[in-house]
Structure 1
């Protein structure tokens, strides 16, 4: 288990997006809008159409990036590259082509499951699209990026994405405590009483909520990085939460775009160490 990772202060919102072939009415610029319903859509599934170049306003130490929610299938592959120059001739980083979805461990599926042999099960969350989440082994400092997606067997005939999140990152030096943390679904249904005294419930997407607490962070981190994280994010700024960057199997369930609904005081617990706690609610 790796320490949690929090992406905030989305730098790609202030960058320039280009490349690929995207529907004129649903352009790449929609990825810079916080409203997820304003999507961008590729013209088709050709590799030349489903790529994007990102020119940030300044170099960024990139710990992770997130692109979604999407209509990607579990058969998609992705490649992420970073460049030292705007002409994209000097390569700094190349992830290579890698299948993006998690593969079930061998022999954990029933033999009758269609995905038994390759371990890639179809996406099963109709209320949420899959996110393309890329976490490099080491942070990469670069200003110019290229994201390529290969999902040529997608039955929709195009790719949809709601948000590109490339931002500053805070990864605590000590992970959140086992007590005081949890992933839950917040009740969001519409209810009405009938004249006969019954109850009619209309289902809506129930947003995920993640709670976590940090008890003994060094004061230099607490009043430095954590203070900056709270100050910049506030309760309106979006945060992409990755509770465990090494959890490939459940990454899509545990990681999500959110806003903070609770940020506790920065407390001093013992000499030179202190704590705080957070609650994050999924952006739907």
Structure 2
């Protein structure tokens, strides 16, 4: 399946792993610590849909510019608020060093008045039944911050499930190739199930869940992107270190998610300089399920 994807974003340095997370609400057996597990088979659940609060104290001040909430059940009406501070005190949210408030989880797919569908039923946010087809993950990017203590608040009072559930949370630094990605990219479904014949001649199927494989090329990497980002991603091959990857359908904007994946790098081609001052890298990512 080849798709015309012009932009990509990678959250590749997850600082959430070092934090001792605490929350104001957590269901039994679904503690907030499960936001740090990989892959996200165990989930965090909060019964406080009006104001779920998670405190994220890092080991030290870190560079942070992105937050990702992966495999969640949040609705289009949910609001996310993220705060950062130099001290571990969030009693007065108006006095913190950084705030990102009232963030929608699902920006409009096609804005009102855009293109031929912007004024019809295809405008705005996805319908609830269609939302999982777009993504069960959300991301928020902002200017670089270097702070140690972080505080996340989520409001989703009309959630029909009666609870807030998140499979994985990533807080760290992300990057977006300045010139997008090349035409050489694909998405495929991988079925790892195995068939084995028994001694009696019968057939046994070891059924495994299917997952997606993403392959893409970045052909306009600057020198900084080549040495500080692409090389770093290649060095994680075989180390079971996850990325959050987002693909966008439109080169003119990056607020509409085409597809998002919680992935590990499984293959990469050597970085080649294909023109003066620019390099090309190719990656293959497998989705963690």
3-state SS, counterpart of residue 264 of structure 1:
strand
Q: Is the 8 A contact 1:233 1:239 kept in 2?
A: no
Distance 1:117 1:222, change over 3 A: closer
Q: CA deviation at 1:207?
A: 2.8
> Kindly tell me: are residues 208 and 63 of structure 1, through their superposed partners in 2, closer, same or farther at Cα, counting changes over 3 Å?
farther
Residue of structure 2 aligned with 1:267, choices 259, 267, 272: 272
Name the structure 2 match of 1:124: 130
The equivalent residue for 1:151 is: 156
1:103 to 104, 108, 112: 108
Q: Larger strand proportion, structure 1 or 2?
A: 2
Is 2:32 the partner of 1:28? Answer: yes
Cα deviation for residue 9 of structure 1 reads: 3.6
5+ residue gaps, structure 2? 196-204
Residue matched to 1:225: 229
CA 1:98–1:11: 2 relative to 1, 3 Å: closer
**Aligned position for 2:200:** none
User: Residue 9 of structure 1 contacts residue 232 of structure 1 at CA under 8 Å; is this kept in 2?
Assistant: no
Q: Check if 1:57 corresponds to 2:59.
A: yes
Aligned twin of 1:73: 75
Alignment-derived partner of residue 47 in structure 2 = 43
Q: Distance in 2 between matches of 1:72 and 1:97?
A: 14
- On the 8 A contact 1:74/1:123 being kept in 2, the answer is no
SS of 1:62's equivalent in the other structure is: strand
Please show how residues 193-272 of structure 1 align to structure 2 within 5 Å: 206-219=210-223, 221-232=225-236, 234=238, 236-244=240-248, 246-249=253-256, 251=257, 253-271=258-276
Matched length: 270
CA distance in 2, matches of 1:103, 1:261: 32
Retained in 2: the 8 A contact 1:9–1:233? no
- What's the counterpart of residue 185 of structure 1? 188
CA contact (8 A) 1:109 1:119 kept: no
Does the 8 Å contact 1:72/1:154 carry over to 2? yes
1:4 matched to 2:11: no
Distance 2:207 2:76 in 1: 26
- Per the TM alignment, residue 14 of structure 1 is displaced from its structure 2 partner at its CA by 1.0
C-alpha distance in 2, partners of 1:221/1:120?
33
1:135 corresponds to which residue? 141
Instruction: Give 1:162 deviation, angstroms.
Output: 0.8
- Whether the aligned pair in 1 keeps the contact of 2:84 and 2:96 (CA below 8 Å) is yes
Pick which of 2-11 and 29-38 moved more: 2-11
Equivalent pair of 1:54/1:144 in contact (CA under 8 Å): yes
Deviation at 1:120, TM superposition (A): 5.2
Task: Write the distance in 2 (CA, Å) between the matches of 1:221 and 1:228.
Answer: 10
Unmatched segments (≥5 aa) in structure 1: 193-200
Question: In structure 1, the residue corresponding to 2:270 is in which secondary structure?
Answer: coil
Task: Please give the secondary structure, in 2, of the residue aligned with 1:255.
Answer: strand
SS in structure 2 opposite 1:96? strand
Distance 2:190 2:232 in 1: 31
TM-score scaled by structure 2?
0.78
Residues 277 and 44 of structure 1, relative CA distance in 2, 3 Å threshold? same
Secondary structure of the corresponding residue to residue 235 of structure 2: helix
SS of match in other structure, 1:139: strand
TM-score normalised to structure 1 length: 0.79
Measure how far apart 1:34 and its partner are.
Answer: 0.5
